[in-house]
């Protein structure tokens, strides 16, 4: 099962293809032969043995840099304040917060009644819940309306299949009710005994049902409230800011639909808010005498509407914030006296305060060339304070309360970075790279001061560019380990995200998806041209759909990058999108295209990383994977690496590291997750010839 590696020393894993019958797939008169299709069988002992062999090979090939890995891990861990406390937020009669204890991997969920001087109540301790599991993740948790029952979701495998447990916060006892195999999405009714929750299809993991559970009853007696029959849609349940209404949403990539129900009567029937229309996306909230709606109806970049409680059809909606072609309306926050608009202009988030009574509106100014602002825990409506977080590539996450009337900004907490970190030692920039079609692609950079644009510094270029997800410039304390060793870190805001509005997303999906890839290449070429990097010192990294990006740019321009890191990469695009029985496929036809239609089949096939591998040299490559990944199935990176081993004509490193106990998000735990980060950083530094002094 092994052959001698082109590298000196370790033995190279080789799948036993001769023992397998190649998989033949025909569609639209085109035949694809997949010699590695058999690797998708998670229960096949040969598959598990192959994964183990790859892990052993990767470990052997990294052994000379093991000391560097350990140094990096301890350094990253050493920057974290081990005993830490989140900023408490008010919800009803209590102040809620989380905290870490020294040396422990998981968080404690706590609260105090009335004020921070009150005795602490530990609602649940993640370290206790995690005992006996190789993987543990705490998902959503919800407090009942009486604030005496906690419902919480846990995942102990990594496939994002949760179980819901309950705890009586008055007695401290675990409630016997237990709901297995759910999505983790849930919401309480206002009767303090009814919980609505979402359940997924056991095969595809598509959330398609909403159930109603009454405390003290068996889960098998739970009532089915709603089932979504369209397999391109998923469902969820939530509650308005006013806590007056429960919301039941159905959504897919470009269409949404909402139903609502008075939360005081959770056993009632949900009412349709606005019937789905293909291409119409809308979100609903409530406060006072109105529903408030963020919608893209006649508004590509979205606008804000409101309507009375008995007139929810869109013909009755009144405009509050109009559509603007140069501003993307991301969201809003409702308060008794203010409306806060979250807007994206020229790629950056702005917060605009609009008084509900007469008075001037105003906007917060953040003063850096690249940053990220996030709305915080704003659970109460009767407050003049807006909670938000601010971070940039040089500024750790900083939490503020902003008084919307006096305009006073109150610093509550800044993430503490140990180890001598000083903001003044680092510099951030914002560049614009020209694309071949005339567009300009923003790039955010950070480096340690003293950097010179002479091509001698290694540069890591990160990209994603899918699902309309905007990759904003934010702080990372682990990243300091690269910056302090001379690396420049660059973030390419390529098409497929929504950094420059909805059109930026639409220009990087479906039959325009290749813009995502050519944008990333244009950013790399621009950074070389401007003296920030040279190909011999240029590295690329991306994960999931960003891993697809890595696979494509390696096929298109293998000469441009010295090394690539592909984390849980989505690389077998055609095979996956042709299989409606695996997670995420049917719900993503409007993102990637449905290959059952020939134009999409041909287009997907033209860039699919797995299908476009060929005999030629490739950059050094590190691939990470999770055996229990529910989003990118483990066999995609596994097959890709196996095929690449057979075809590539170089002696560059090719490592596959599969976490046998985790899923899409990698290892669980506060510190354990950084073992993979240290491995990636050591891989990159080793390729630069770095030697720790």
Query: What residues are annotated to the active site?
Result: 544, 629, 664
What span, in angstroms and rounded, lies between the C-alpha atoms of 598 and 604? 10
Q: How many CA atoms lie within 13 A of 300 on its CB side?
A: 13
Query: Which one, of 217, 181, 219, 220, lies nearest residue 201 by Cα?
Result: 181
Round to the nearest angstrom and report the end-to-end CA distance of the chain.
Answer: 39
CA distances (Å), 23 to each of 31, 106, 257, in order? 10, 43, 40
Count of Cβ atoms closer than 10 Å to residue 622 Cβ: 25
Per DSSP bridges, beta strands 23-27 and 149-155 are unpaired
- Which residues, including other chains, have CB under 8 Å from residue 691's CB and lie 6 or more apart? none
* 339 neighbors 356 (Cβ within 8 angstroms): yes
Q: For residue 525, give the 3-state DSSP assignment.
A: helix
Q: Please list the residues that pair with 373 across neighbouring strands.
A: 390
Count of Cβ atoms closer than 10 Å to residue 298 Cβ: 10
Q: Burial code of 83-98, b = ≥16 C-beta within 10 A, e = fewer?
A: ebebbbbbeeebbbbb
Count of Cβ atoms closer than 10 Å to residue 451 Cβ: 20
Q: Please list the residues that pair with 292 across neighbouring strands.
A: 285, 306
Q: Burial code of 624-647, b = ≥16 C-beta within 10 A, e = fewer?
A: bbbbbbbbbbbbbbbbbbbbbbee
Q: Which pair of tokens denotes residue 369?
A: 């060339």
Q: Please list the residues that pair with 186 across neighbouring strands.
A: 197
User: Which residue is associated with the tokens 């929750």?
Assistant: 197
- Which residues, including other chains, have CB under 8 Å from residue 560's CB and lie 6 or more apart? 521, 524, 525, 535, 538, 553
- In angstroms, what is the C-alpha Rg of the chain? 26
Q: Which pair of tokens denotes residue 28?
A: 């639209």
* 613 neighbors 641 (Cβ within 8 angstroms): no
Q: How many residues in total does the chain contain?
A: 693
* 557 neighbors 588 (Cβ within 8 angstroms): no
């Amino acid at each position: 099962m092994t052959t001698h590696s082109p590298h000196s020393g370790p033995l190279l894993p080789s799948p036993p293809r001769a023992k397998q019958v190649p998989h033949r797939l025909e569609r639209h008169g085109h035949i694809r032969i997949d010699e590695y299709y058999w690797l998708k069988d998670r229960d096949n002992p040969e598959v598990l043995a192959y994964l183990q062999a790859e892990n052993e090979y990767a470990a052997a090939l990294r052994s000379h840099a093991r000391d560097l890995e350990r140094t990096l891990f301890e350094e990253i861990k050493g920057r974290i304040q081990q005993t830490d406390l989140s900023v408490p937020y008010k919800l009803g009669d209590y102040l809620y917060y989380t905290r870490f204890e020294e040396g422990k991997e998981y968080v404690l969920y706590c609260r105090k009644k009335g004020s921070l001087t009150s005795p602490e109540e530990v609602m649940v301790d993640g370290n206790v819940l995690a005992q006996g599991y190789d993987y543990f993740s705490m998902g959503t948790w919800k407090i009942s309306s009486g604030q005496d029952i906690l419902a919480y979701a846990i995942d102990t495998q990594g496939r994002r299949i949760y179980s819901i447990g309950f705890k009586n916060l008055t007695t401290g006892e675990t409630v016997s009710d237990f709901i297995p195999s759910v999505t983790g999405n849930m919401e309480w009714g206002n009767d303090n005994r009814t919980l609505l929750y979402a359940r997924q299809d056991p095969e595809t993991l598509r959330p398609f049902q909403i159930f109603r559970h009454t405390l003290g009853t068996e889960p098998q007696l739970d009532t089915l409230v709603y089932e979504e029959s369209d397999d391109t849609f998923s469902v969820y349940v939530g509650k308005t800011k006013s806590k007056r209404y429960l919301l039941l949403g159905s959504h897919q990539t470009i269409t949404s639909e909402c139903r609502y129900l008075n939360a005081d009567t959770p056993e009632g029937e949900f009412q349709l808010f606005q019937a789905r229309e293909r291409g119409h996306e809308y979100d609903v909230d409530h406060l006072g005498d109105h529903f408030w709606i963020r919608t893209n109806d006649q508004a590509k970049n979205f606008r804000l509407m409101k309507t009375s409680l008995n007139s929810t059809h869109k013909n009755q909606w009144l405009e509050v914030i109009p559509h603007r072609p140069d501003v993307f309306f991301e969201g809003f926050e409702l308060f008794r006296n203010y409306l806060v608009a979250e807007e994206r202009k020229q790629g950056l988030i702005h917060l605009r305060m609009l008084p509900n009574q007469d008075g001037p509106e105003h906007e917060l100014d953040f003063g850096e060339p690249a940053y990220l602002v996030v709305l915080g825990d704003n659970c109460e409506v009767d407050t003049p304070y807006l909670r938000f977080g601010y971070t940039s590539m040089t500024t750790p996450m900083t939490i503020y309360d902003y008084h919307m009337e006096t305009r006073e900004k109150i610093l509550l907490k800044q993430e503490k970075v140990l180890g001598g970190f000083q903001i003044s030692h680092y510099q951030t920039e914002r560049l614009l790279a020209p694309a071949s079609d005339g567009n300009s692609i923003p790039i955010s950079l950070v480096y340690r001061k003293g950097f010179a644009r002479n091509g001698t510094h290694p540069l890591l270029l990160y990209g994603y560019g899918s699902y309309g997800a905007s990759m904003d410039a934010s702080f990372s304390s682990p990243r300091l380990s690269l910056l302090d060793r001379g690396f420049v870190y660059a973030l390419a805001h390529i098409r497929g995200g929504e950094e420059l509005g909805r059109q930026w997303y639409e220009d990087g999906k479906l039959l325009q998806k290749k813009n995502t890839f050519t944008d990333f290449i244009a950013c790399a070429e621009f950074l070389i041209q401007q003296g920030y990097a040279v190909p011999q010192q240029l590295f690329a990294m991306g994960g999931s759909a960003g891993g697809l990006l890595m696979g494509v740019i390696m096929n298109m321009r293998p000469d441009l990058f010295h090394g690539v890191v592909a984390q849980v990469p989505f690389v077998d695009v055609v095979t996956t999108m042709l299989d409606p029985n695996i997670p995420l496929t049917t719900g993503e036809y409007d993102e990637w295209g449905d290959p059952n239609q020939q134009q999409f089949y041909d287009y997907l096939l033209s860039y699919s990383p797995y299908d476009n591998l060929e005999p030629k040299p490739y950059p050094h490559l590190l691939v990470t994977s999770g055996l229990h990944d529910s989003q990118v199935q483990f066999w995609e990176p596994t097959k890709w690496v196996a095929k690449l081993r057979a075809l590539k004509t170089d002696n560059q490193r090719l490592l596959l590291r599969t976490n046998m106990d985790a899923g899409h998000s990698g290892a669980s735990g506060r510190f354990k997750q950084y073992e993979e980060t240290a491995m990636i950083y050591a891989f990159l530094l080793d390729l630069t010839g770095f030697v720790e002094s």
